[in-house]
Amino acid sequence: GEVMIKGPQVMKGYWNKPEETAGQIKGDWLLTGDIAIMDEDGYFFIVDRKKDMINVSGFKVYPRELEDVLFEHEAIESAAVIGLPNPDIPGSEKVKAYIVLKDGYKESEEMEAEIKEFCRQTVAVYKVPKFIEFRKELPETLVGKVLRKDLKEIEARRRGEEV
């Protein structure tokens, strides 16, 4: 579930932003936006960000989980996963993976099929990317974190939406 924290060190809210504060502060609790699991020893592990979760017909897909699987494929240098609106099911999304291949591997329909089959061997069928786009590079921050927000904006522009 979502990590919530409480204590004297927690902020009281955002300066002059009551709407944002209302979305993040519930009573004395701060909703961090991080999704975590707790192991049998009581340790918490951050799984992903709530805002990045993909809803596939009511099933939750956490991009980082699928990206971890993709990174295990021998041909993949880098990967990022986002959700695209599913026009057939309002409120639902389809999984799209952006893949950067290692040197020596070629973008092809065969490679796309191989990557999807590789995912099918590890994750539930609804988590397997519906779409794969090969790229030379992914948008990143200065410290190398993939900017999923930029990928979502690219897709929105492709659909003719204002960004």
Judge if pTM exceeds 0.85: no
Tell me which of 21-30, 73-82, 114-123, 133-142 is least confident: 21-30
pLDDT higher than threshold 80 for residue 155: yes
pLDDT band at 34 (very low <50, low <70, confident <90, very high): confident
- Per residue in 110-122, pLDDT (tens digit) is 999 999 999 999 9
Write down the pLDDT at residue 118.
98
Whether the CA torsion 149, 153, 159, 163 is positive or negative: it is positive
pLDDT confidence of residue 70: 98
Q: How confident is the model at residue 3 (pLDDT cuts 50, 70, 90)?
A: confident
Residue 51: which of 28, 68, 37, 33 has the closest Cα? 33
- Among residues 53, 74, 93, 77, the alpha carbon closest in space to that of 144 is found at 77
Domain boundaries, the chain: 2-50, 53-158
Q: Report the distance separating Cα 153 and Cα 159, nearest Å.
A: 10
- List, in order, residues 6 or more apart from 26 with CB less than 8 Å away: 4
Confidence band for 13, pLDDT divided at 50, 70 and 90: confident
Q: What pLDDT, in 10s, does the model give residues 46-96?
A: 877 878 899 999 999 999 999 999 999 999 999 999 999 999 999 999 999
CA distance 64 to 46: 10
Query: Considering the domain 2-50 in this protein, what is its CATH number?
Result: 2.30.38.10
Name the residue with tokens 């999304």.
93
CB 158 within 8 A of CB 150: no
Q: Check if the beta carbon of residue 55 is closer than 8 Å to that of residue 63.
A: no
CATH H superfamily, domain 53-158: ANL, C-terminal domain (3.30.300.30)
In 3D space, the residue among 46, 83, 55, 69 whose CA is nearest the CA of residue 123 turns out to be 69
Helix (H) or strand (E) holding 46: strand 44-49
Say if residues 105 and 111 touch (Cβ distance below 8 Å). yes
